Amino acid sequence: MSGFSADWLALREPYDLRARSAVVRDAVVAAFAGHPSVTIVDLACGTGATLRALAPHLPARQHWRLADNDLGLLARASGTERPVGVRVTAIPLDLNRDLEAALDGPVDLVTASALLDLVSADWMERLAVESAVRSIPIYAALSHDGRIEFDPADPADADMVAAVNAHQRGDKGFGPALGPAAADAAIRRFESLGCAVIKGTSDWVFRPGDRDIQFELCSGWAGAVRETGNVPLADIVGWLTRRRDAIQAGDSSIKVGHVDVFARPTGTR
Ligand SMILES: C[S@@+](CC[C@H](N)C(=O)[O-])C[C@H]1O[C@@H](n2cnc3c(N)ncnc32)[C@H](O)[C@@H]1O
C-alpha cells in the first residue's frame, strides 16, 4: 500500500487525461514517429494511467515496463486493457532505493505522471543525471505547481493554499519533497544538462458538476493542512464546511495548476 488508493487514481484519471498538455504530448509522439517499436519505463505507474494516455499515440509495437512499489496498484496496471502489440512487464520496486535498476536495459523513453512533486531534490538529481548519461528522454506529466484557485473565493483560501503547499514539501518517501517547486527544478536541471525541454501547463479544471472530485480534494486538503498545524482547526473546519456547501449547491469551481515536461537529450536520438 502506498497511500494512493486505486479509487482516488480512478477518480482523477479522466481529469488528468483532459488536463495533459497536448503540446508536450505531441512532442513526445513526434520523437518516436516512424520508430518500429518503443520501450518505455513508467516510473510510479499506479494503475497504468500513463500507459492508457500515451499508448494509443505511440508506434504499434510497445513494451511498457511499469514500476511501482504498491503491489496492488501494479497488479491493476499489469491487467489494464491495452491495444494489440502493447506488451507490459511489471517491476515491483522502491524507486527511492532502486531508481537506477528501473532504468537498466534498453529504454527509449521514461515516463512519469503525478510523481515529480513527491520527490526530493536529491532524487530529482539522480533521475536527471541517470537519464542524461543514458541519453533517455523523459516525459513527466502533471506535476503540481502550487497554483490553486477557487470560485467562489473564501477568506480562508490563501491560508489553506499556503498550508497545502507547505504539506506538499513534506517527506513522501523520497526525502523532503520538492512539491510545487518540482517542475521548475526539473526544467532548470534538464536544460543545464543539455536537454531540449518542451513544457506546458496541464491544469485540472473542475466545474460545478465535478462534485465527487471536488469533495475528495477539499477533504484531502483539509486533512493535510491539519497535519501541518499551520491553520487553526476551527478555521479548517469552517473552510471545509463552506466549501462542501458550495460544492453541494453546484456553485463551486476549482483550478489546480500542473506542468508537463518533455526533456530530450540533444544530438543523441
Ligand atoms: C500520485 S500516484 C500517480 C500514479 C500514476 N502515475 C498516475 O498518474 O495515476 C503516485 C504513485 O507513486 C507510487 N510511489 C510512491 N512512492 C514510491 C516509491 N518509493 N517507489 C515506487 N513507487 C512509488 C505510488 O504507489 C503511486 O502509484
pLDDT in tens, 112-147: 999 999 999 999 999 999 999 999 999 999 999 999
Is there a contact between 46 and 4 (Cβ–Cβ < 8 Å)? yes
CA of 147 to the centre of ligand 1 (A): 22
For the segment 85-102, what is each residue's pLDDT rounded down to a tens digit?
Answer: 999 999 999 999 999 999
From 59, 52, 63, 57, select the one nearest 14 (Cα to Cα). Answer: 52
- Write phi, then psi, for 221 (nearest 5 degrees): -65, -40
Q: Whose CA is nearest to atom 16 of ligand 1?
A: 173
The three cell numbers locating residue 138: 523523459
CA of 25 to the centre of ligand 1 (A): 20
Q: Is the CB of 113 under 6 A from ligand 1?
A: yes
With bands split at pLDDT 50, 70 and 90, how would you rate the model's confidence at 2?
A: low
Q: Is the CB of 53 under 6 A from ligand 1?
A: no
Question: What's the predicted TM-score (pTM) here?
Answer: 0.96
SS3 193: coil
Q: Which structural domains are found in the chain, ordered by start?
A: 6-147+176-204+257-265 (3.40.50.150)
Q: Is the CB of 69 under 6 A from ligand 1?
A: yes
With bands split at pLDDT 50, 70 and 90, how would you rate the model's confidence at 269?
A: very low
From 33, 30, 56, 89, select the one nearest 262 (Cα to Cα). Answer: 30
Distance CA 254, CA 192 (A): 34
CA of 67 to the centre of ligand 1 (A): 9
